[in-house]
Amino acid sequence: MSALSKTAVQTDRPANGQEQSNVEEIYRDEAHRLARYLRWRLRSADDANDLVQEAFERLARSFVRGRVLDPRAYLRRIVRNLLIDRSRRPSSQPHLPIEVAEAVPVAPEQSYAIEAADMIMLFRQAVASLPPRTREVFTLHRLEETSYRDIAQQLGISIRTVEWHIAAALEHIDKALHPDD
């Protein structure tokens, strides 16, 4: 390889130390913003931090493989792809009725117990404040585990109406439990 072509290859990709400093600089500038965005999307600080870490790991690997023209845009694309991948995976958190969730097998620290009790109280208040028909549909489905079809037949309404009541109840409860969002 001639001296000219070696120079072209070297300028085409930053040196290994330069790659690391580029990733570190982008991390300092973007990590907090990405974590905040992911916390908002995922409603979990731990999951958000994991995805930020994975995104920067993928970005660093991309620098090693070759030149990245716009690393910040590429990082945002990585994050979008990670969110898409995550949404395609089945949920690892099974749905538990609120009564089962109350019976925690391991006693939490006192602050966690107080927070859990507050959350349950807010949940019960939110359910109690639902319009009567919506509360009835929600209670039949979530607490008595009645299917949409059975609820529709029992109450003389369509399945679509049952879906609407469940969606309205969930939205109302979510707003009651997360007033700052």
74-93 burial: b if 16+ Cβ within 10 Å, else e: bbeebbeebbeeeeeeeeee
Q: In this structure, are 61 and 112 located in the same domain?
A: no
Burial (Cβ within 10 Å: 0-12, 13-18, ≥19) of residue 151: buried
Domain with 147 in it: 98-177
> Count of domains in the chain?
2
- C-alpha span between 114 and 127 (Å, rounded): 20
Per-residue pLDDT reduced to its tens digit, 125-175? 989 999 999 999 999 998 888 899 999 999 999 999 999 999 999 899 888
Does 12 have pLDDT greater than 60?
no
Shared domain check, 112 and 171: yes
User: Is residue 119 assigned to a domain?
Assistant: yes
Residue 103 in domain: yes
Tell me the whole-structure pTM to 2 decimals: 0.41
109 and 82 co-located in one domain: no
Q: Are 169 and 143 found together in one domain? A: yes
Of 100-104, 129-133, 176-180, least confident by mean pLDDT is 100-104
Task: Give the pLDDT score at 133.
Answer: 94
Same structural domain for residues 70 and 104?
A: no
Specify the residue for token string 């974590």.
35
Task: List the structure tokens of 57.
Answer: 């790991």
Q: Is residue 93 domain-resident?
A: no
Q: Which of 40, 57, 88 marks a domain boundary?
A: 88
